[in-house]
Amino acid sequence: MNYAEHCTTAGEDPVFVDFMGDYETQAIYEECTNFPKLREYLNEKLVAYNAQPKISKMNIVLFKDAITHIAKIYRIINLKRGHAFLVGVGGSGRHSLTRMSAFLSKMNVYQLEVFKGFNLKNFREFLKVMYEQAAYKGKDKLKTVFIFSDNDVVQESFLEDIQNMLNGGVVPNIYLADEMNQIREGIRKKFKKDMPAGTIETPEALSEFFFNGVKDNLHMSICMSPIGQAFRDYTRMYPALINNTTIDWFMGWPEDALTEVAMKFIGEMGLEDDMHAGLSVVCSYAH
């Protein structure tokens, strides 16, 4: 069944998705404005996400704005070499909704774990591991999303590497000669399988095949807060943050979103239904 065929609710902001229908061949990217149907589907996927082993469970509420952001991030990271620039304050859901979008896209997710003394060398070692997973070590799951936050900017040189990745796909000269030899050896089998018959296997061809794999399979979700001088400085000094990404602004949550979040946790506490009325009064008073 194609869910989008039943999305007929009028008066809503249009949302386009291609992940809800049972498409036999190619998924169709089409408008779906039936939020209850879309919300139901995404809540099922959230349950599936939380059922995975060895992951931090996400206890999030999929209100209308959150669903809209998921659709936007999903679209961006599924574009060829597409990268997202998520602008909003901390706690607005940028990381969680990126993880949800990546799960819908069957993509791996990488995020820095910054520790005391973390430096540029550590950062580039992390990038190397991620590059190799995205190019050939990920086996059946090469597509990857890298979540990078302004809180990860331990050294501003990190942003120089991020700019290079946005401009050219990879950090230039990140590998030593012996490291590249190991990569060529590791990717040789995939090269023979994926390249047209008769393609000459040279060191240069193997290297190009590796870096093209990184560029095609690695997408970035860059999360920054617009508050403060750092945001203005970063976007001015590293223009690729603006020029080579698609920007999604995370604005303040509307009243209905606050109400849905509050009611979820009130429901988990087992309080009576008449709390709905009291909560509506509180929200109205707050505004």
pLDDT in tens, 220-253: 999 999 999 999 999 999 999 999 999 999 987 7
Tokens standing for residue 278: 């009291």
For the segment 164-189, the average pLDDT, to the nearest whole number, is 96
pLDDT at site 6: 43
Residues of the chain with CATH 3.40.50.300: 3-253
Q: Where are the alpha helices (DSSP H) in 105-156?
A: 120-132
Domain 3-253 CATH assignment equals 3.40.50.300: yes
Q: How many helices (H) and strands (E) does the chain have?
A: 11, 7
Q: What pTM did the predictor assign? A: 0.85
Q: Which of 41-45, 194-198, 222-226 has the lowest mean pLDDT?
A: 194-198
pLDDT at site 279: 46
For residue 85, give the 3-state DSSP assignment. Answer: strand
pLDDT for 141 beyond 80: yes
With beta carbons less than 8 A apart as the criterion, state whether 61 and 258 touch: no
For the segment 83-103, the average pLDDT, to the nearest whole number, is 95
pLDDT for 114 beyond 60: yes
pLDDT for 178 beyond 70: yes
pLDDT at site 35: 79
pLDDT at site 139: 77
With beta carbons less than 8 A apart as the criterion, state whether 215 and 134 touch: no
pLDDT for 20 beyond 70: yes
* pLDDT tens digits along 143-153: 999 999 999 99
pLDDT at site 177: 96
Tokens standing for residue 191: 């090269």
61 vs 85, higher pLDDT = 85
**Which of the 8 DSSP states describes residue 91?**
T
With beta carbons less than 8 A apart as the criterion, state whether 110 and 165 touch: no
Q: Rounded to 5 degrees, what are φ and ψ at 147?
A: -90, 120
pLDDT at site 19: 86
pLDDT for 23 beyond 70: no
Q: What percent of the chain has pLDDT over 90?
A: 68
Tokens standing for residue 33: 């404005």
Tokens standing for residue 127: 């990038």
